[in-house]
Structure 1
Amino acid sequence: MNRMDRLLGIVIELQRKGGQRAVDLADRFETSVRTIYRDMQALSESGVPIVGAPGQGYSLMDGYFLPPVHLTVEEAFAILMGTEFVEQQFDPPYSTQAESGRHKIESVLPAPVRARLAEFSESTRILNTRLPAEQRMLELKVLGHIRGALLADKKVRFRYTKPLVRSDKEQETERTVAPYGLVLIQGVWMLVAHCDLRNAIRHFRLSRMQNVVVLDESFERPADFELRSYTPQDDRSLFIHVQFQPHLRNAVLESNHFFMESVTMGTDVVDVILRVRQPEDVLKWVLSWGAGVEVIGPEEFRLQIRREIENMLQRY
C-alpha cells in the first residue's frame, strides 16, 4: 500500500471507529508505529483535524467528515453484491433498506462506472434455494423476532424441534433463552443463546423454531462474551474412516460436510476421516452415497450401516 492510500485509509478508520492507538493503526496497515506517527503529522499539516490524547490514541475532531468517496468499479461491485446478499438473507426491514441503499449507490455512480458495473452484474448472481419459499418466509419471520430481541436485550420463548438420536422421531421442547447473537453458517441461520432449560449456551436453528415470542424479561450478556471471538466447545471425539470411489472425489469435496476432518487421495480410493459426537451424526450422509462409499471403521458403525441397509431391503 502506498502512502497516499494509507493516509486516506487512516482517516476512514478514524471516522469509522473513533479513537485508535498508534499500535492498532500500525497493525491494521501493516507498518511500524514510527510510520504512523509520521503519517499523523502529515495529516495534521494538510489540514485534517487530528486530536491526540495520551493513553487513548488519535481521533478526528467532532464534525469532521470526508468528502464523498469515489469508488472503483471493483469496489462498487463488491458493495452492491453485499447489498444483494442482505436482500436475500435478511428479514424486512433490512432487506428493504439494502435494496434502497443499492439504488442510492447506483444513482450516484459516474456513467462509465455504471456501464462497466452492469457488465459485471450480468456475469454474477446470488441465488438462495436452500429452503422452499414458504419455509423461507417462516424463517425470515423468526429472524425478525430474534433480531428485535437482540437489539432490546429481551429473552425469547419458542417451541424447538430436534431429531432424536437413534430414532426416526423428533423431540419438541419449550425453550426460554437469552439471545447472544445470530450466525449464518453455510446458508443456515443459527441462534447462539443462553438456554434457561440447560443453564448453558446452546445453538438453535431458526428453521426449527415455532411460536416465537419476545418476552418482557430483560437480560445482560456476560461481560466476557464476544460473538466474533466465541468458539463453541468441540466435543466430537469419535473418528470414522470411510472410503469413496475415485469418481466421487469432486462431489465429496463440494459437499463440504461439517464433520469432515480430512480428505486424502489414494491410488484407487478417496480416504475421508469424519470426526463426530455419535455415529448418527453422519449415518444418513454416508448412506446417501450408496455403493460409492465403504465404512472402514469403527466396526460398530459398519454393523450399524449393514443393519440400516437390511431394513431398507425389507421395503423393496
Structure 2
Amino acid sequence: MNKSDRMLAIMLELQRSGRRRAEDLAAAFETSVRTIYRDMQALSEAGVPVIGAPGQGYSLMEGYFLPPVSFTVEEAVALLIGTDFIEHNFDTGYGNGAKASRAKIEAILPETVRLEASRVRAALRLIKGREAEDSREKAHIETLRRAILEERKVSFRYSKKIPEADGSRQSDRTAAPYGLIFLYGAWVLIAHCDLRREIRHFRLSRMSGLKMLDDRFTFPSGFDLQRYRPADDRNQLVRIRVDAGIADKVKESNYFFIEKMEELADGLLVTLRVRQPEEVLQWVLGWGADVAVLEPEPLRNRVREEAEKMLKRY
C-alpha cells in the first residue's frame, strides 16, 4: 500500500472507529509506528483535523466527515450486488433501504464506472424463492428483527420434519430470539426455547402464527452470534452407494449432511453424518434406484418399506 492509499485508509478507519492508537494502526496497515506518526503529521499539514491524545491515540475532530470516496468497478459491483441481496432476502424495511442505497451509490459513480458496473451486474442474477414463501419469511424477519433489538420473546407454532416420540410434528413454542442466520439459502432463528430449556435452531419456513410478546429477556453474558458455534450432535453415520450415472449430480447437490465422498470403480461411496437416519430418508428416495443404502440396517428397511408402498400405488 502506497502512502496516499494508506493515509486515506487511516482517515476512513478513524472515522469508523472513533479513536485508534498508533500501535493499532501500524499493525492494521503492516507498517511501523514511526511511519504512522509521519502519516499523522502529513494529514494535519493537509488540513485534516486529527487530534492526538497521549496514551489514548488519534481521532478526528467531532463533526468532520470525509468527502465521498471513489469506487473501482469491482468495489461498485460488490456494493450493488449487496443491495440486490438485501432487497431480495431481507424484510421490507431493509429492502426499501437497499433500494435507496443503490440509487445513491449509482448517483455518485462516474459514468464510465457506472456503465462497466452495469455490464458486470447484467451477467449475474440472484434468484428469489417462491413468492408466497418469500413474502412469509420476510414478514417473519421483520418481526424477529424487532424482537431481537427490543429483547422481547416470541411465540410461534413450529412444524418439524421428523416427528416427536409421540408422533406429533407440530408444537407451540415460546423463545428468546438471539439472532438470525442465512444458512444454505434459508433463514434460521437462533433462540433459547422455553420448552426445551436450551438454545435451539428454528427454520423460518416452518414457523406459523409468529407473534412478538411483552415478556422481556436478557442476552446471556458473553453471547456473540458471530462467534456462536452449535454443538455438533450428529453422531450417526449413513453410508450409501451411488451409481456412476448420477455421481456428478450427487456431488453438485452440496447436501448438508454429506461428510465425505469416495470414488469407486462403478460410482461413489457417500458417508453422511446425521442425528437420526430418518433425516435423509426423503433425500435418498429422491435418487430412486440409482442409490443403495449400505448402512444402517434400519434405514435400509425404511427405504424398502417406502418402495413397497410406492409399488402398491402403481
Residue 206 of structure 1 is matched in structure 2 by 204
Task: Report whether the alignment pairs 1:280 with 2:278.
Answer: yes
Residue 10 of structure 1 is matched in structure 2 by 10
- On the 8 A contact 1:243/1:294 being kept in 2, the answer is yes
Residue 70 of structure 2 is matched in structure 1 by 70
TM-score of the two chains, using structure 2 as the length reference: 0.90
Name the SS for the 2:38 alignment partner: helix
Q: Deviations over 1:183-205 (max 9, x none)?
A: 11122111101111111111111
Task: Report whether the alignment pairs 1:44 with 2:45.
Answer: no
Flag the 1:28–1:194 CA change in 2: closer, same or farther, 3 A.
Answer: farther
**Within 5 Å, which residues of 2 pair with 1:249-264?**
249-264=247-262
Residue 147 of structure 1: CA displacement?
0.8
Residue 103 of structure 2 is matched in structure 1 by 103
Residue 103 of structure 1: CA displacement?
0.9
Flag the 1:158–1:165 CA change in 2: closer, same or farther, 3 A.
Answer: closer
Q: What is the count of residue pairs matched by the alignment?
A: 309
- Structure 1 counterpart of 2:286, which letter? S
Residue 300 of structure 1 is matched in structure 2 by 298
Residue 300 of structure 1: CA displacement?
2.9
Task: Report whether the alignment pairs 1:143 with 2:152.
Answer: no
Residue 145 of structure 1: CA displacement?
0.6
Name the SS for the 1:65 alignment partner: coil
Task: Report whether the alignment pairs 1:182 with 2:183.
Answer: no
Cα separation, 2, equivalents of 1:288 and 1:271: 17
Please point out which of 238, 242, 245 is paired with 1:244: 242
- What 5-or-longer segments of structure 1 have no aligned partner? none
Name the SS for the 2:14 alignment partner: helix
Residue 226 of structure 1 is matched in structure 2 by 224
- On the 8 A contact 1:295/1:301 being kept in 2, the answer is yes
Residue 61 of structure 1: CA displacement?
3.3
- On the 8 A contact 1:51/1:61 being kept in 2, the answer is no
Residue 80 of structure 1 is matched in structure 2 by 80
Cα separation, 1, equivalents of 2:306 and 2:16: 57
Q: Could you list the runs of 4 or more consecutive aligned residues of structure 1 that deviate by over 6 angstroms after TM superposition?
A: none
Residue 91 of structure 1 is matched in structure 2 by 91
Cα separation, 2, equivalents of 1:272 and 1:103: 47
Flag the 1:289–1:52 CA change in 2: closer, same or farther, 3 A.
Answer: farther
Q: Deviations over 1:16-39 (max 9, x none)?
A: 23334556545544x25xx25522
- Structure 1 counterpart of 2:307, which letter? I
Tell me the percent identity: 45
Cα separation, 2, equivalents of 1:243 and 1:23: 57
Q: Deviations over 1:235-272 (max 9, x none)?
A: 01111111212232321122111111112222321121
- Structure 2 counterpart of 1:226, which letter? D
Cα separation, 1, equivalents of 2:21 and 2:268: 50
Name the SS for the 2:169 alignment partner: strand
Cα separation, 2, equivalents of 1:23 and 1:296: 59
Q: Which moved more, 1:79-88 or 1:207-216?
A: 207-216
Cα separation, 1, equivalents of 2:142 and 2:59: 35
Q: Which moved more, 1:43-52 or 1:185-194?
A: 43-52
Cα separation, 1, equivalents of 2:89 and 2:37: 40
- What 5-or-longer segments of structure 2 have no aligned partner? none
TM-score of the two chains, using structure 1 as the length reference: 0.90
Residue 166 of structure 1: CA displacement?
8.2
Cα separation, 1, equivalents of 2:310 and 2:26: 62
Q: Which moved more, 1:71-80 or 1:237-246?
A: 237-246
